[in-house]
Structures are given as C-alpha cells and as structure tokens.
C-alpha cells in the first residue's frame, strides 16, 4: 500500500459570462488537481487552491518526497513535505501544492480502510451541512443593483437560508447594492458581505457602520491580509462580526490572527492552508480561542467534499444542548468542474448538502472529463 505515482492535471473551461470582484476578472475556471496512485492501482484525488500552473509545479517538486510512503501514515508525509519546502515557502502556492497531495492521501487512506474521511477525522457529528450561496459578483450590466437583487432572490427560491455577496466597488456603491439585496430577500435570510481586502481601515469601518442596520452576519476580508493590527482594531470597533483567513496558511498563520483577536470567524481554505491534516489542527486552534470556523471553499467537487468532511467532524466549542451549526461555502458562479467532474452530485435539500458516504472523499472523478479539459501547464 505505498505510493508509486503522483500526477498533476491543469484543467480549464471558459465561462459563458465573465465576472469580477474587487481584485480580479474571471473569464475561465482553471484549476489544478493531483492524482496519487498506489502500487496496487488504488488512487486518490486532491486539489490545490490558487494559480494552477505554479501549484502543478509545486506538486512535481514535492512528489518525490511521498514516493514509497503509505497514506495510512499521511502525517509523516505531511511533515516531510513541509520541512523540505519550509526554507523557501512558508506560505503561498507551495502550500496549495502540499494541500492537494495531503487531500489525495486522505482520500486514499479512506479507500484503503473503507471509511469516509469524516469518520477517520474522529467521527461524523452530522450527515449533512447547512450551506450558504456565494455569488453576487460584479458583471457588466446596466443596472447592477437590480441584477444582484434578482440573483439573490433566485438563491432564496432554491432554498438557501444564507448568501454572501461581493462588496469592494466603493463604500457608497456597496451600501446601495447591499440595501437592494436586503430589501429583495427580506429579513429571514442571512446575508454576508465579502470585500476581498479592498478597503482601508477608515473605509471598512464606515461601511461596517452603514451596513449594521441591514443585519449582516459577517464582513469578510475588509482589509489587506498583511494588516493584522488593522484587523485587531476593526474587529474591536466593527458592529458586524469580522471574518478572514482565506489568504492565511498553516496553524502559524491562524495563530497570528487569533492571538491578536483579529477575527470573529476564521476561514482557512483546506486546499491552500495545508490540506486536511493541517485544517483539522487549525479548527482545534480556532476552537481554543472561542472563534468560529467557516472554511473558504471555491473549487471543484473535490474541494466541496473536503470541506463537507471537515464540517461533518467539527463540533463547535463551548457546546450547548442546541449547539450552533457549521456552514458550508457553496460557490454558485459557473464552474463545470464543481458541477460535473464527480459523482454523486451535490444537491441542496432544505438548505443542506449531504456529506458523501463512500470511502475517502466519497467522490468518483470522471477521468474522461479530466482528459477532455486538460491544458498545457504554460496556459494554467
């Protein structure tokens, strides 16, 4: 049961309609997956979050370190990869590469032991997870307020109980957009906003104060991820809970956020923060600071399954008879690889998504589709 092959696949699919947020413009979805195969032919899949080409190169750099290793001892393999890249890559895409391999090893571990990852993490505390819709990006149109409100109403009609919209066009425009969405969806639906670190401290505080009467559940990434002191001060003064962490890596990155009390909600991306092995540790660290845990998830069905298993296992502290429920980020922007690459497909049922029951991640990857959408790495 030892690893004898590691492959990387960069896949790309052009979007029917391009969109943007406060930092970048998207006209295609391009992702990097890895497939780790054992000498007996059993294989597992993983995904890295971020620029696909550099992640693929990172996987090729790390691959020799796990050859001959056993997925049943994935933590030792994690440490070997981490120590080998530490001097030059304490953060960034190399950790997305490490994350992808770690997720594939967990998928394999589950397949070897015939158990879902959530059970191997210590047990399932729930078989389905509440999901929120991530959407309401910006696009070229005549009336953005109406377009955003229409989209939000669609998620409400689908059965979502929560949704997250983008802000970061400018404080005044953002206030108008959020007001239009809140007025359309009414008061019964949770609404979050995400700036993707677009604001200065003063702008963020002004927006938080203006949005407070609109019942906003969290304000995500208001400031640049480097500004820990700004986050600490904003978290203290904002009337809306502050969320961040999709740009952080490893438990050390989250410790910097937590010990300064920078966030109310910590958002590691398991496909970038260090895989399942490290995100489990981050969740425990987050718990020990009395902070909420809501993983960032913006990838394929592999990323969604990874978050589902972690959230099935996570049981928020301090705990109570009717404990608060975790929430899954379910991106609704066009992504063929989230919708069609794996089976079984995820279906929203009364606002919840079922945690896969099969061994490992519980996802069967369509390898024909992998070949169909595979692109040369230089295009990734």
Active-site residue, 296 included: yes
Phi, psi (degrees; rounded to nearest 5) at 192: -115, 160
Residue with Cβ nearer Mg ion (227 or 315): 227
Residue with Cβ nearer Mg ion (49 or 346): 49
Q: How far is the CB of 376 from Mg ion (least distance, A)?
A: 29
CB-based contacts of 361, cutoff 8 Å, min separation 6: 44, 45, 103, 106, 107, 110, 116, 117, 302, 305, 306, 309
Cα–Cα distance for residue pair 74/46, rounded to 1 Å? 13
Q: How far is the CB of 369 from Mg ion (least distance, A)?
A: 27
Give the binding site for Mg ion (CB under 5 A): 194, 220
Q: How far is the CB of 86 from Mg ion (least distance, A)?
A: 27
Comparing C-alpha atoms, which of 106, 114, 105, 158 is closest to residue 135? Answer: 158
Q: How far is the CB of 156 from Mg ion (least distance, A)?
A: 21
Yes or no: say if 97 and 105 are a contact pair by the CB < 8 Å rule. no
Q: How far is the CB of 179 from Mg ion (least distance, A)?
A: 21
Q: How far is CA 112 from CA 76, 121, 275, in A?
A: 17, 15, 19
CA dihedral 21, 22, 26, 29 (to 10 degrees): -70
Residue with Cβ nearer Mg ion (194 or 287): 194
Measure CA 214 to chain center. 26
Q: How far is the CB of 203 from Mg ion (least distance, A)?
A: 17
Residue with Cβ nearer Mg ion (93 or 192): 192
Comparing C-alpha atoms, which of 108, 5, 1 is closest to residue 63? Answer: 5
Give the residue closest to Mg ion by C-beta.
194
Cα–Cα distance for residue pair 44/258, rounded to 1 Å? 33
| Residue from 13, 20, 84, 296 carrying the catalytic annotation | 296
Q: How far is the CB of 377 from Mg ion (least distance, A)?
A: 27
Residue with Cβ nearer Mg ion (107 or 194): 194
Residue with Cβ nearer Mg ion (22 or 118): 22
Residue 144: is the preceding peptide bond cis (ω within 30°)? no
CB-based contacts of 115, cutoff 8 Å, min separation 6: 359
Q: How far is the CB of 73 from Mg ion (least distance, A)?
A: 34
Catalytic positions, please?
Answer: 296
């Amino acid at each position: 049961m030892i690893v004898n092959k590691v492959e990387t696949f960069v896949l790309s699919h052009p979007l029917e309609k391009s969109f943007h947020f406060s930092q970048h413009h998207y006209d295609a979805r391009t992702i990097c997956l890895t497939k780790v195969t054992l000498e007996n032919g059993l294989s597992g899949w993983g995904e890295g979050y971020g620029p696909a080409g550099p992640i693929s190169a990172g996987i090729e750099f790390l691959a020799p370190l796990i050859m001959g290793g056993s997925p049943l001892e994935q933590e030792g393999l994690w440490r070997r990869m981490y120590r080998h890249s530490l001097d030059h890559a304490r953060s960034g895409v190399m950790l997305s590469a490490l994350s992808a391999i770690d997720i594939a090893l967990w998928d394999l571990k589950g397949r070897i032991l015939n158990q879902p990852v959530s059970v191997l993490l210590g047990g399932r505390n729930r078989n389905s997870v509440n999901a929120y819709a991530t959407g309401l990006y910006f696009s070229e149109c005549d009336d953005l307020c109406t377009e955003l409100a229409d989209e939000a109403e669609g998620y409400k009609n689908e059965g979502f109980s929560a949704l997250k919209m983008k802000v970061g066009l400018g404080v005044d425009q953002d206030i108008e957009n959020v007001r239009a969405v809140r007025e359309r969806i009414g008061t019964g639906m949770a609404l979050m906003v995400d700036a993707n670190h677009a604001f200065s401290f003063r702008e963020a505080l002004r927006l938080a104060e203006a949005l407070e009467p609109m019942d906003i559940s969290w304000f995500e990434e208001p400031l640049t991820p480097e500004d820990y002191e700004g986050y600490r001060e904003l978290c203290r003064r904002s009337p809306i809970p502050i969320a961040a962490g999709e740009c952080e890596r490893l438990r050390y990155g989250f410790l910097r956020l937590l010990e300064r009390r920078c966030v109310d909600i910590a958002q590691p991306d398991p496909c970038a923060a260090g895989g399942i092995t490290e995100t489990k540790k981050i969740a425990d660290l987050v718990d020990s600071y009395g902070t909420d845990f809501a993983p960032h998830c913006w990838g394929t069905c592999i990323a969604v399954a990874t978050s589902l298993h972690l959230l099935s296992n996570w049981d928020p502290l301090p705990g109570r008879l009717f404990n608060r429920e975790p929430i899954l980020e379910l991106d609704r922007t066009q992504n063929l690889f989230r919708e069609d690459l794996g089976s079984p497909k995820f279906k929203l049922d009364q606002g919840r998504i079922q945690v896969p029951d099969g061994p490992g991640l519980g996802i069967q990857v369509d390898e024909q589709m992998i070949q169909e959408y595979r692109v040369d790495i230089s295009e990734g």
